[in-house]
Every structure is written in C-alpha cells, then in structure tokens.
C-alpha cells in the first residue's frame, strides 16, 4: 500500500459500539500501523455502558457491586491504558488516535498536552471556556471535568516509534448520573460536567465528531487521506 506517516484515516462509527471488540480492533490496527500495513488512524465513536479500569485502577473506586452493574447493563473491563476507573456510554464522544509519535520525538507528555488542546479547541467552537487543571490530566470547566484522557504508548517493533492507543472521552450528551457509581479517575474532590449541561440543550454528536476530526488534523498536522463512516450493515466501513 502507499504509506505516509503524515496521512490520516478517520473512522466514524454511527452506532454505539461494545467495548471489547473495539479494544481488540485497536490492538490489531496498532500492529498493522507498525508494519506500515495501515495508515495512522483516528477512531471516533460512542460506547455502550462500560466502566473501564486502567493500569492504576482501584476496585474500591467502583461504588456498586458487580451484580448491580449487571442489573444496570454496565460492562466492566480491565484495560492496559493509564489511569484509574472511568465511564464510557451513550452520548459521549470517545476518540482513539492510533498514530506514530516519532514525529514528536516520542514525547508522551507533549502528546497528552496536544490531545487536551484538541478538546479545548473543540469546546471553544461551542463557546465553552475549558482548560487544564494541573496536576490532573484531562480537560476541565472550572472544577468539573468534561473530558477524561487515558492512553497507552505501544513500542513499535518495526517502526521504532511509540504508537498511541486508547485516548479520550468527551461528555457531550452523557448521562452524568452514571458517574455517581464510581470515583472518576480516582478524584474524589471534583465533579464532572457535559456540553449538554453547560449549554442547556442536547447536541448532535455526529456534528461534534466532525468538528473534532478537523481540529485533530490541524493540531497534529496530518493530511486527511480518507474518511470512513461505519454503519451496522457495513462493518468494514465505507468511504464518505
């Protein structure tokens, strides 16, 4: 295939995705990107209800039993990203950038700041004044977190570059009551918010995805190579 580390494929998933198959897809695609069999990719989607524990996750930060999670239709997943427990679910924009970091000297901290910046700029398009809250990773509006970030830096065997996986979760129309059953990211003293709560109306998630993908391309200086929209009836996606 024609391969260029400056090209980016964006994949937009129109319907809610179960967590584990998407995690498997990330691992497969990271290996393909390392072998230059797939272009750097950005996956944008929303998940079914799931609480994920990162490598620093603590079981006591889940405040309800596993049985109660089952009754509420919430999956549980232990994953290999950084961070503690977080929630993914309907109305939330989840982004998984799978890109090589050698263009940025494999600087993990710089990548996190750039990822935060893409979210801050997206929110600014909706007149939401968001920013950072050191020492915490993520994006905040005042003392409330609106976007969580948890990533993994995979060592490429052939490319000799870090390749990113996992990513961010931006609360757009998210049911914030789902955060009441956990201590999000292990942070007790601050709350969470969403775009819909701040703007007092729901948003078109597909539109937010489109806005975000343009900002991501600009911030990371990619050349958009292909946009693929995945429908239920077309699991391999279609060009759009």
Q: Is 149 a known ligand-binding residue?
A: yes
DSSP assignment string, 145-167: EEEEEEEEEEEPSSS-SEEEEEE
Geometric angle at alpha carbon 141, from 143 and 131, rounded to 5°:
110
Q: Which contiguous run of DSSP H or E holds residue 70?
A: helix 66-71
Q: Which residues are catalytic?
A: 185
Q: Is 191 a known ligand-binding residue?
A: no
Length of the chain: 240
Q: Is 169 a known ligand-binding residue?
A: yes
Q: Which contiguous run of DSSP H or E holds residue 26?
A: helix 19-34
Q: Among 22, 33, 14, which residue's Cα sits nearest to residue 88?
A: 22
Q: Is 86 a known ligand-binding residue?
A: yes
CA dihedral 115, 189, 175, 215 (to 10 degrees): -10
Q: Is 88 a known ligand-binding residue?
A: yes
Other CB atoms within 10 Å distance of the CB of residue 164: 24
Q: Is 148 a known ligand-binding residue?
A: yes
Q: Is 83 a known ligand-binding residue?
A: yes
Q: Is 225 a known ligand-binding residue?
A: no
Known binding residues are 81-88, 148-150, 167-169
Known binding residues for substrate are 81-88, 148-150, 167-169
């Amino acid at each position: 295939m024609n391969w260029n580390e400056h090209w980016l494929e964006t994949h937009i998933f129109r319907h809610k995705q179960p967590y584990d198959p998407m995690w498997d897809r990330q691992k497969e695609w990271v290996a393909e990107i390392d072998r230059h069999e797939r272009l750097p990719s950005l996956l944008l989607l929303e998940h079914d209800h799931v609480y994920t524990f990162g490598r620093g996750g603590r079981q006591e930060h889940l405040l309800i039993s596993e049985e109660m999670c089952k009754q509420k239709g919430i999956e549980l997943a232990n994953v290999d990203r950084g961070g503690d427990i977080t929630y993914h679910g309907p109305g939330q924009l989840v982004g998984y950038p799978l890109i090589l970091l050698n263009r940025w000297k494999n600087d993990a901290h710089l990548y996190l700041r750039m990822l935060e910046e893409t979210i801050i700029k997206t929110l600014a398009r909706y007149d939401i004044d968001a920013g950072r809250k050191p020492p915490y990773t993520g994006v905040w509006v005042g003392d409330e977190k609106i976007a969580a970030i948890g990533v993994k830096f995979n060592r490429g065997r052939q490319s000799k570059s870090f390749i990113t996986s996992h990513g961010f979760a931006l609360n757009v129309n998210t049911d914030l009551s789902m955060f009441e059953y956990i201590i999000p990211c292990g942070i007790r003293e601050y709350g969470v918010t969403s775009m819909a709560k701040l703007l007092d109306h729901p948003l078109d998630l597909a539109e937010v995805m489109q806005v975000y993908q343009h900002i991501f391309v600009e911030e990371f200086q990619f050349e958009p190579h292909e946009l693929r929209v995945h429908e239920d009836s077309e699991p391999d996606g279609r060009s759009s």
